[in-house]
Chain A
Amino acid sequence: MIGVWGALAGALVLLLVLLAWVRAEASSKDSRSDWGASDQEQGEGVEACSPEIVSQLFSAADSKFISGLESPGLENLFRRERTAVALHWVQETSAFISKVMRRHLEASRLRADLEIATEARIFLQYARLKLYCGILFVLIGLLGPQRLAGTALYAERFIQRIGEGLVEFQLAAGLREPDGSESL
């Protein structure tokens, strides 16, 4: 039957998850009110930062200008600051995605007409976005935001390949997209 090591691993995972659950319960006691009204009242969108500023972050124009000044100290400072701002932007966007998901879960947990297939599809969509943010975060940290434009394409292709795999999984599991919705 279930192997000795499988049983042992299951028991250890259970104890760890219970620990995580107790900690999450304790930390969410005070912030539980954030789950509802406060988020909805704010009504903020994904574009918390204007597109012009964001495109400036990833643009190579400023970097070229600073390089032209031929001051290594200034260039280092510029790179450090830009990287820090770009990383903060990715974190904020990732937090926004989490907030969207959190609101969805808050709404769906109360609905008796919840559909497992739709929940699974939304979760996969969410997981891919979080993965995308994670890859962006690592790439920005390693290469800096200016050199990201080219490498981001690799990240996109990587996500696309995962997406193709997931679409195959969804089709196999009967989790088809509803009409008009885009497959991420």
Chain B
Amino acid sequence: MLGQTIWWSCIALETFLLVRGFAGRLWARYPVFYAYISFVWLQSLLRFSIFHLRPQQYKPVYWITEGLGVLAGCAVVFEIYRVGLAAYPGTARMARNLLGFVSVLALTKALVDTWNDPQWWLIATTMDLERLLRTVQSFAILALVVLFLFYAIPFGRNLRGILLGYGVFVGLSVIQLTFVTDSSSRFHNFWSYASPGSYFIVLGVWMVHLWSYVPNPEPKTAVRLEEQYQRVAAATAQRLREARGYLAKAVRS
């Protein structure tokens, strides 16, 4: 009963989120995110119908839509990068390199593991594959958030909500997929409520942050943009050297 209530509440919140997106013209600003929510909304309705009308087909439908959802989620991460760093070409360049590095690392690991154990694709379950994809996604989000923190990129309310909600969702999904491999485990029963419950909270976060359109803050351009990067870097290195010399001189005196 509780599970059904959460399920219906999530569908209702998704509907409300989409309606607010249309009303506030947020669709045009974050098209990928709203396409993702539309997909999840349709997925929820489809799963709900299959669960009640053709329960024997629920499992394959669940895993196919889940896989598509993971791929659609990658596009959401890309939109966060695209919109969040549109005004910061320097940080965007750094992010591209970092995301490239994460992708190469994941690919290399996959190739090495396949080389060592060519049968792992056959042994791995759909849940294992989803956990793998979600983990790579969580590392990509982690790399982006670290960059946002390091370069103090200011975020508008809308984009902050999308990133926060999606980041929490991916993090919790990895935890859930790690613990719920065994359906007879104690965790399985707990997560059957905790997982949709946490998704309901994520939808609530999106609802609050995406109630209306709030533009991303413009970067302060007090810095001299005509200056070349190498000159800026040289000036920083020089000031850091001065600080180093000052510290050394003081303690040696």
Measured CB to CB, the residues of A under 8 A from B are 1-2, 4, 6-8, 10-15, 17-18, 20-22, 24-25, 28, 32-33, 35-37, 40, 45-47, 51, 54-55, 57-59, 89, 93, 96-97, 100-116, 118-119, 121-122, 125-126, 129, 132-133, 136, 148-149, 152-153, 155-156, 178, 181-182, 184
Contact = CB atoms under 8 A, between A and B. Distances in A.
Nearest to B128: A1
A18 B243 contact: no
A14 B138 contact: yes
Nearest to B112: A1
Contacts of A148: 251
Contacts of A22: 160, 164
B178 A8 contact: yes
A115 B229 contact: yes
Contact of A7 (B131, B146, B149): B131
Interface residues of B, number: 76
Contacts of B223: 36, 103, 106-107, 110
B189 interface: no
A10 to B, nearest CB: 5
Give the interface SS of chain B, mostly helix, strand, loop or mixed.
Answer: helix
Interface in B204-248: 217, 219-223, 225, 227-230, 232-234, 236-237, 239-244, 246-248
Nearest to A113: B229
A108 B154 contact: no
A108 B233 contact: yes
B174 A25 contact: no
Interface of B: 87-91, 93-94, 97, 106, 109-110, 113, 120, 124, 128, 131-132, 134-136, 138-139, 141-142, 145-146, 148-155, 160, 163-164, 167-168, 170-172, 174-175, 177-178, 217, 219-223, 225, 227-230, 232-234, 236-237, 239-244, 246-253
